[in-house]
Structure 1
Amino acid sequence: MWSIGELAERAGATVKTVRFYSDRGLLPEASRSSGGHRRYGAEALERLRLIRSLRTLGLPLPEVRRVLEDEGAAGRVLEDAVAGRLRELGSEVRALRWREAALRLVRECPPAERADRLRLLGAVNVPPSTAPLARFWRAWLPPRMPARATSAFLEEAVPQPPDEPDPTQVLAFARLHAMTTAPCPGGRQPQPEVHRVGGAHGAAALYAGLAEAYELAGPQLRRARDPYPGEALDAYVAAYASAYDSPDNREFRRLLARRLAADPRLDRYWELTALVLTPPGGAPEPTPGSADDWLRTALERDNAAAA
């Protein structure tokens, strides 16, 4: 039987540490001496070493207690605890990388711009959250649009902050955050005309068709090809034709071009999104906005050629 000091010495710990774990019931004592001093058996040494190993991995005390107490499922409990800690560490690492890039952004900008950049950065959570961007789009999309269609659109429209951002990407995301959280003029976002055609399910079909057209246009954007009529444009027009319950003919294509030109646009959003998604020195990643621009130009050229 060992005293608390002897156990601490064998484990390479302090008496304070042993007492701390004993007081919390993680390290049960085997007995007490006639003078009331704690006595520990040899099994306490292995338990103390396990506790210290788990704490070194960063597991909180409640998780350590679960591993110690659930002997029948200790392996599974330990795996769950380690997986949870890994997720937490991943979030912490992303936060540190974001802070590093943000600090570089402030250090490298002209002194006259620092106050504005500090204001932008101070409004963004660390690690950054995409929730404000998603709320912005939920208000933009037609009400009562099916949840699956909404989720599919948000997956394409809301850029995920990179795990290892550079200052340019941090600034672009902070500006996106500011743009999507600012009050809209008149208190309400301007809605595209197409949202008022065909109801919520019609809009869902439209966005599904547009997603297909954007996917077809993506390779052309990556190759930096000039807009041209083809499969991507046909899918683009077909999506609108379905929403308007109209055949895809020359008259409809001219009407569509006029309506698209009159609809409100979010060019700045897509410019910033491309900056967030594009690593330093990389080619710009296609976005729904850049794909839509490419397809609109293709439509205009198709109409002009027909005229």
Structure 2
Amino acid sequence: MSTRDGRAPLRHRNRWQFPADGATVDLRRPHLPERSVTLRAMPAPLVLDPSRTAVLVVDLQNDFCASDGWLAGIGVDVSVLAPAIGLSARAVAGARAAAIPVIWLNWGNRPDQANLPPGVAHVYDPRGTGEGIGSGTAPSGAPVLTKDSWGAALADGLTAEPGDIHVDKYRMSGFWDTPLDSILRNLRVDTLVFAGVNSDQCVYATLVDAACLGYDVVMLDDASATTSPSYCHDATVYNVRQCYGFTASTPDLLDALTAEPAHPTTPTIPATPTAPNPEDTV
């Protein structure tokens, strides 16, 4: 079964249950069976519960990664991002196979930019000449980083599948002015695994906010990359390990997930209690 746009219906993990008798409302959520994988990470190995984990892939979109995207059009060498695209694709495939939600977090600005603050607009148009967000100045001619445009779409080598979740963002951090936190809380996840670009900018800003909100954070340091000087990525990796969470490699994540014993792929519904008999009350 799929929705009209071809996506699979989202299996909500945060819903009340309604017994067939119609006499009660069961406030217990579907049960998420506890699972356990051990992941080699820095600064220490981790034990994760895939049932309470999501993978966030940040800004792997045409305007940042493609040769005719906006970033390449202003003279930036985007070829350095290619390894992160390939490794992110592998991480996403492994996550899906392990029944871990995948969230694509991309810039997708409103065409009218009504919610875009001047400081963010300035980052992409520092001289105020109208060449930044929403302009048609990228080699592709598509409006830069605009919702539903070619520039906002996933880069070649990446494919969204039914059941994946898409979130548009409008800041370096994906938590501001977006439903990301609400989505994660409804997924009932505690641990977030990050991949994408730029590691020292949008990946890092989103990860820091996630950590401040109380999520456990793990950055895939090989599936994250930046067009900044290499020391910027190195400093980001250092800061993640030192202040916010952990880093790991994509092969180690895949090894951990494939080593997990067989697991149920859907939440289970709690047994429905018998409705009380009104005649038994006093």
Indicate the structure with greater helix content. Answer: 1
Higher relative contact order by CA 8 Å / sep ≥ 6: 1 or 2? 2
Report the TM-score, using the length of structure 2 for normalisation. 0.22
